[in-house]
Amino acid sequence: MKLLVFAGSTRTGSYNRQLARVAADMGEFRGAQVTLLELSSLNIPLYNADLEAQGTPPDVIRLKALMHAHPGWVICSPEYNGGMTALLKNTLDWASSPIKGHPEWGSSGIKPFAGKVVGLLSASPGALGGLRSLAQLAPVLCNLQCWVAPRQHALGHADRAFSEHGTLLSEAAHAAVQGVVDQVLLAAGRLSPPQP
């Protein structure tokens, strides 16, 4: 099973990037082929239809291909002002925009998303752990025809949740994140069509 993991943050020391690494390690431990995507590695501008008309950035095409190739995803979503980050929303907006005249991505913007099983995690120094960002993200993904896993986890007090080696200190938090990863792998394995 191929699993794509990424966080909606590029900040150095981001708790959600740390959580994404934890989730990726868990997926690998379960035998998945994991791609840990750093959004900072993509050169994707702020979405603008006029800019898009001049030509879709190459990294958007790369992003679409990555998303399409992985039946299961885990997204770690920071919370800014009660919602998902502009970076994460911008990433989804570009990935869901069809490329006019492109042989693979021209017909439908839904193609990279449809049928993907997506697990949602968040981390925040606050007590709610970024939970409100997940409440905003889930309907966006459903609108893009993703299957959003019922199990989610918001890691509260994330500023003291990780060891110096990047692992989770709490056994309960570890089990909760593992539960999300496991559910994504199970559901993606059952829902994705057989690979040629």
pLDDT tens, 25-66?
999 999 999 999 999 999 999 999 999 999 999 999 999 999
Q: How confident is the model at residue 192 (pLDDT cuts 50, 70, 90)?
A: confident
Separation in Å, CA 99 to CA 12, 55, 107, 129, 143: 32, 8, 8, 36, 19
Instruction: Output the CA torsion sign for 55, 61, 63, 64.
Output: positive
- Residue 117 near residue 184, CB atoms below 8 Å: yes
Give the pLDDT confidence score for residue 118 in this predicted structure.
Answer: 98
Among 193, 86, 85, CA closest to 133: 85
pLDDT over threshold 80, residue 194: no
List of residues 6+ apart from 87 with CB closer than 8 A: 8, 9, 10, 39
Q: Which pLDDT score, from 0 to 100, does residue 5 have?
A: 98
- pTM, full prediction: 0.95
Confidence (pLDDT) at 196: 47
